[in-house]
Amino acid sequence: MVAGAHPGTREEWRAGWTVVLAGAVGIGVTSLHFYSLGLFIDPLAKAFGWSRASIASGPAIVAVVNLFIAARIGRLVDRVGVRRVALPGYAAYCSGLALLGLAGPSVWSWYALWALLGVGYSFAGASLWSVAVASRFDRSRGLALAVALCGTGVAGASTLFLGARVLDRFGWQATYAALGGTVFLLGMPVLLAFLRSARDLHLNGASPDQVALAPMPPGMDFPRALRHPHFWMLSVSAMLIGGGVAGLIVHFVPMGISRGIAPVDAAAIGGLIGMSAIVGRLITGSLMDHCPARLVGGCVFLLPVAACILLAPGGGAAPLMISAAIIIGLATGAEFDVLAILVSRYLGMRAYAAIYGQIAALFGIGVGFGPTIGGALFDMFGTYQPMLWFLAMLFAIAAILLFLLGPAPDWSDRRAPADQP
Give the residue among 32, 48, 179 at the shortest CA–CA distance from 108: 48
pLDDT exceeds cutoff 70 at 295: yes
Q: What is the pLDDT of residues 78-115, one digit of tens each?
A: 788 899 999 999 999 999 999 999 998 999 999 999 99
- CA dist 262 and 256 (Å) reads 8
> Is there a domain that residue 391 lies in?
yes
Q: What is the pLDDT of residues 389-411, one digit of tens each?
A: 999 999 999 999 999 998 888 76
pLDDT exceeds cutoff 80 at 265: yes
Burial (0-12, 13-18, 19+ Cβ within 10 Å), 352: buried
- CA dist 275 and 229 (Å) reads 35
pLDDT band at 208 (very low <50, low <70, confident <90, very high): very low
> Is there a domain that residue 1 lies in?
no
> Is there a domain that residue 349 lies in?
yes
Contact (CB, 8 A) for 137 and 14: no
- CA dist 371 and 375 (Å) reads 6
> Is there a domain that residue 4 lies in?
no
pLDDT band at 287 (very low <50, low <70, confident <90, very high): confident
- CA dist 82 and 8 (Å) reads 24
Q: Which domain holds residue 156?
A: 15-202+210-407
> Is there a domain that residue 165 lies in?
yes
Q: Report the CATH number that the domain containing residue 391 is assigned in CATH.
A: 1.20.1250.20
Number of structural domains (the chain) is 1
Instruction: Quote the pLDDT of residue 314.
Output: 67
